Structure 1
Amino acid sequence: MTSMTAKGTFDITNWTPEPPFHDRDGVTLALVTLDKTWHGDLTGTSVVTMLVASTPVENSRSYVALEHFEGTVEGRSGAFVVQHDAVSDAGAQSLLARVVPDSATGELRGLRGEIAISVAPDGAHSYTFDYTL
């Protein structure tokens, strides 16, 4: 299989937080759903369901999420699921976002890969998707 790289941007078009279902000693757990519109080598939309843990320290939090993408990857159409695992430790951030194995459909069947997400100071989101197909 040949490794490929797709790049572009995405917009968060809807952010819907639920009230925390756990709130004790300054630590909260809450559910957030959001929609994205993808531009560049990935074009399409996605729906994300995110579980967020916030702490009393402003830049220390984490989230896990599942995201269902529908659209095209460099012209091939289909859908796939991405699993996110992210931590901010006093501002030091790590994120692993990878395609759930065997979740891809259509012309994307067999897709594997990881997505790196960057957030610019102005809040703009960009991605680099290293994948095999």
Structure 2
Amino acid sequence: MRASGTFKVVSFTPTPITPEPPVETGLPVGVATMEKHYEGETLTGRSATLFTAAFDQEAGVGSYVAMESFEGSLAGRGGAFNFVHSAATDGGPTRAAEHFAIVPGSGTSALKGITGTGGLRVTEDGTHQIWFDYDLP
């Protein structure tokens, strides 16, 4: 099954955590928490996100990894689950090395047992789109 919609970042809060031991690389590493709100015909809810990246804002080059805890509904079935995603960019319009997976065993309520993958993209007008390709028992 597929559930899709759009999301908005409600908050992005950098944290003062730094990797130990300190290792100097060509890109700064940062950690942040995020809150997102989702809406769509088959997807509604919110998520709490742990976000880390090695990224150069000016050049648009780098990579990120995010773990999200989603609470809401997919196609009318409510509950919560975790999903993880990551990608890299060389400063161009396309993303590379994308990964997106629903964390097995993380589903609750009517989403208990959820498995699957998904994806996200940002359109030229700045709209954030997301989709889940999932199975439920």
* TM-score normalised per structure 1: 0.87
1:60 aligns with 2:61: yes
Deviation at 1:55, TM superposition (A): 4.4
- Judging by fraction of residues, say which structure has more strand: 1
Deviation at 1:25, TM superposition (A): 5.4
* 5+ long unaligned stretches in structure 2: none
Partner of 1:124: 127
Aligned residue pair count: 130
Partner of 1:5: 2
Contact 1:118 1:126 (8 Å CA) reproduced: yes
Deviation at 1:116, TM superposition (A): 1.1
Partner of 2:100: 97
Structure-1 separation of matches of 2:9 and 2:57: 26
Deviation at 1:24, TM superposition (A): 3.5
Partner of 1:114: 117
Partner of 1:81: 82
**CA 1:57/1:37 → structure 2, altered by over 3 Å: closer, same or farther?**
closer
Structure-1 separation of matches of 2:32 and 2:58: 20
Deviation at 1:23, TM superposition (A): 7.9
Partner of 1:15: 12
Quote the RMSD (CA, aligned, Å): 2.0
Partner of 2:34: 34
Q: Which stretches of structure 1, 4 residues or longer, exceed 2 Å deviation after superposition?
A: 18-26, 89-92
What secondary structure does 1:117 align onto? Answer: strand
Deviates further, 52-61 or 110-119: 52-61
The percent of aligned pairs where both chains have the same amino acid is 38
Which amino acid in the other structure matches residue 33 of structure 2?
Answer: T
Structure-1 separation of matches of 2:112 and 2:2: 17
Deviation at 1:84, TM superposition (A): 1.4
Structure-1 separation of matches of 2:17 and 2:28: 6
**CA 1:50/1:29 → structure 2, altered by over 3 Å: closer, same or farther?**
same
